[in-house]
Amino acid sequence: MKNNLIQSDPSIMMGKPVITGTRITVELILEKLAAGETVEQILEAHPHLTREAIYAALDFAAQALRADVIYPLRESLQ
């Protein structure tokens, strides 16, 4: 991943990780993919994004989840 594609700045989207130069959060990209949108649909809806930026968001999320933290799931989600 190119680290310069994701940034976190308290003055942009309250510090949530975003695609550099946009207000598009990593969270939004993950939500859209989880809802079944394709990379092509996301790119069409957000012309400032690149395929590389979407993959950088996925890589960022994967790295964030590598931390030694346990994420309990509610029973209704299991």
pLDDT along the chain (78 residues), means of 10: 83 95 97 98 97 96 82 64
In degrees, rounded to 5, the angle at the alpha carbon of residue 12 between the alpha carbons of residues 10 and 15 is: 40
Q: List, in order, residues 6 or more apart from 27 with CB less than 8 Å away.
A: 16, 17
Q: What pLDDT shows up at residue 69? A: 72
Stated pTM of the model: 0.82
- Residue-level pLDDT at 77: 52
In this prediction, residue 34 carries a pLDDT of 98
- CATH fold for domain 3-65: Arc Repressor Mutant, subunit A (1.10.10)
Taking only the tens place, the pLDDT of each residue in 15-36 is 999 999 999 999 999 999 999 9
> Domain residues of the chain, as ranges?
3-65
Q: Which residues, in sequence order, are CB contacts of 8 under 8 Å at separation 6+?
A: 15, 16, 17, 18
